[in-house]
Amino acid sequence: MTANLTLRDAIATLRVAGIEDAPRDARLLLAKAMGVPADRLTLHLQDPLSAQAAQAFAALITTRSARQPMAQILGERLFWGRSFEVTRDTLDPRPETEVLVQRAIKQPFANMLDLGTGSGCILISCLLAMPMATGLGVDISDAALRVAARNAARHGVTGASFLASDWLRGVTGSFDLIVSNPPYIAQAEMAALAPEVRDWEPSRALTPGGDGLDAYRRITAAAPARLMAGGRILLEIGPTQAAVVTALLVAQGLEDTHILHDLDGRDRVVCASKPVSEPRDGLLC
């Protein structure tokens, strides 16, 4: 059977399984099974599919039909224009998080802290844009930290180090930039998530339980002590959490609060900065 006919049947299978973009996913999986670049697959669709490739493709379609995310199946995800290793131990990087990176690198920094680093995509993307800077990625998961370290090596980032810690509990030193995309989904909202998220991504990277705000309470209580005067903190949030997270930051004496929106116009990142002893003109988060 040709690759094209096999692809047609696979698309039908994925549609039955409820996969939203079945044609795209099937093509990517077929390219993986055939060992050809995805952008060259069309050139091979009339080729006979080898028994080995057909078996591999069938296994991949079965896996995707079980709603495992494509990033986990392919082992990587594009973020900020670069490919990052993804496993079941890490959150799948979202395009919305690029809003945080865009603002983080808008202003120079020397030493950054990434809380809940996961795949390391935020930390690594920021350090690649600021080659003289250093950064620390913190995560409670040793498995996630190993993925982050491999991603740093993959992109040649030597200024990144990693630490196993429950948020800031084991963190020492001072930073002029603190960033985090913490778990923020309320426990009651978990059941409504897509199966790819709810059943396959690490739950502790998605929700802290309860109202979804516990990570913000812990971060905002401890982060100011690790933030240099004039330093910035950027926190990704859920679209209904801006007011609460802003209030938590203000209660800790931080200022210059500002909300960034994603491409859909939703609240996505809360920015704040630590006061300096003497005001500086033009300080923006």
The pLDDT of residue 14 is 98
Other C-beta atoms closer than 10 Å to the C-beta of 164 total 12
The pLDDT of residue 20 is 93
The DSSP symbol for 48 reads: B
For the chain, first and last CA: distance in Å? 58
3-class SS of residue 79: strand
Task: Using the CB atoms, write b or e for 246-263: b if 16+ within 10 Å.
Answer: bebbeebebeebeebebe
The pLDDT of residue 1 is 85
Q: Evaluate the CA torsion angle 35, 84, 129, 261 in order and state its sign.
A: positive
The pLDDT tens digits along the chain (285 residues) read 899 999 999 999 999 999 999 999 999 999 999 999 999 999 999 999 999 999 999 999 999 999 999 999 999 999 999 999 999 999 999 999 999 999 999 999 999 999 999 999 999 999 999 999 999 999 999 999 999 999 999 999 999 999 999 999 999 999 999 999 999 999 999 999 999 999 999 999 999 999 999 999 999 999 999 999 999 999 999 999 999 999 999 999 999 999 999 999 999 999 999 999 644 554 555
- Rounded distance, CA 220 to CA 199, Å? 29
- Rounded distance, CA 233 to CA 258, Å? 11
Q: State the DSSP H helix or E strand holding residue 115, giving kind and residue range, or none if neither.
A: strand 111-115
The pLDDT of residue 245 is 98
At residue 214's C-alpha, the angle toward residues 212 and 215, to 5°, is 100
The pLDDT of residue 226 is 97
Q: Measure Cα distances from 34 to 83, 151, 250 in Å.
A: 20, 25, 55
3-class SS of residue 146: helix
- Rounded distance, CA 179 to CA 100, Å? 8
The pLDDT of residue 279 is 47
What are 70's two structure tokens? 């494509």
What are 33's two structure tokens? 């099974």
The pLDDT of residue 61 is 98
